[in-house]
């Protein structure tokens, strides 16, 4: 069933868990997310990221996401991830997305604040919720750099600034920077859970969103959830799992025999589904 971000955040808060939010730039990843959630009887969030427009346009994947969500046996929020401008947010809202993220973290604080306010005003007209970001997780999607190098793009979230930001914008969830990185981890992440608990305390319990979750240990996920994380974005390692399964399928084909695209897709789907199920179990605090 199609629900809002606030609906699934309420479940997360009541149960002291986090809801998995999976980017779905293809049918295989979308099915992996929803079918895994259905089998585990857990709510889930499926997302389209604006920077994935080159992989598949919103106009194509959006209606498919909404259709699958509406037919699902569990609560499914359809969310726009890392929306970079209000026009793109409006396109998703017009389509029926129940939640959008405006990411103004690359802009000066005052500009981020002002545009986020406009995003909230826009979403309210559709009965949709808004996530925003304060701070910066640095490298995006697939990572860059070399092991041992510091990510100088990271800007950690200030709990006092978060309090002002949440109060002035009226957002429903806040993506915080507390040591995670978008993309492939080149070194073991050093997470500052005090930032999460500080933001929760200062904002009187706004749901904290964890971006850059792929590659974090199960133990650290649990620590983050206990500190107040209620939504965890997950894509890169799921996507990598699908890629590895595709590679293994191709290598298994006898030399001279045809490699079938449909078989590669089936292998990727099966691998991603298992990866997603493990992620949902971790986020649901299921041992």
pLDDT at 197: 97
State residue 149's pLDDT score.
Answer: 47
Q: At 262, give phi and psi (nearest 5°).
A: -65, -35
Which CATH number is associated with domain 2-240+276-283?
3.20.20.70
What pLDDT, in 10s, does the model give residues 192-231? 999 999 999 999 999 999 998 767 899 999 999 999 999 9
Q: Strand, coil or helix: what is 47?
A: strand
Active site residue 81: yes
User: 229 pairs with which residues across the strands?
Assistant: 208
Q: Considering 7, 59, 67, 81, which one is annotated as catalytic?
A: 81
**Which positions of the chain have pLDDT values less than 70?**
137-154, 181-189, 214
The distance between the two most distant Cα atoms of the chain, rounded to a whole number of Å, is: 64
pLDDT for position 155: 78
pLDDT at site 144: 40
Give domain limits for the chain. 2-240+276-283
Q: What pLDDT is recorded for position 214?
A: 67
> Which pTM value belongs to this model?
0.92
Tokens representing 137? 């997780």
């Amino acid at each position: 069933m199609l629900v809002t971000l606030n609906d699934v955040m309420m479940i997360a808060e009541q149960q002291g868990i986090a809801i998995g939010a999976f980017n779905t730039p293809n049918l295989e990843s979308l099915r992996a997310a929803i079918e895994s959630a259905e089998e585990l009887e857990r709510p889930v969030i499926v997302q389209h990221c604006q920077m994935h427009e080159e992989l598949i346009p919103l106009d194509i994947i959006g209606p498919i996401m909404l259709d699958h969500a509406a037919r699902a046996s569990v609560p499914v929020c359809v969310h726009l991830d890392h929306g970079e401008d209000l026009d793109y947010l409006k396109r998703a809202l017009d389509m029926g997305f129940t939640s959008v993220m405006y990411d103004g973290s690359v802009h000066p604080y005052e500009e981020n604040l002002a545009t986020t306010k406009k995003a909230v005003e826009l979403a309210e007209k559709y009965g949709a919720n808004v996530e925003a970001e304060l701070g910066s997780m640095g490298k995006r999607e697939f990572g860059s750099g070399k092991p041992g190098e510091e990510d100088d793009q990271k800007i950690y979230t200030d709990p006092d600034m978060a309090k002002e930001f949440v109060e002035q914008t009226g957002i429903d969830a806040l993506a915080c920077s507390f040591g995670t990185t978008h993309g492939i981890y080149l070194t073991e992440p050093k997470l500052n859970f005090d930032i999460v608990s500080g933001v929760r305390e200062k904002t009187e319990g706004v749901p904290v969103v964890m971006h850059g979750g792929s590659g974090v240990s199960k133990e650290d996920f649990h620590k983050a959830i206990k500190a107040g994380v209620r939504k965890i974005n997950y894509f890169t390692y799921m996507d990598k799992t699908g890629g590895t399964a595709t590679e293994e399928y191709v290598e298994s084909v006898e030399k001279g025999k045809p490699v079938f695209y449909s078989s590669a897709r089936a292998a990727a789907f099966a691998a991603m589904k298992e990866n997603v199920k493990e992620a949902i179990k971790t986020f649901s605090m299921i041992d």
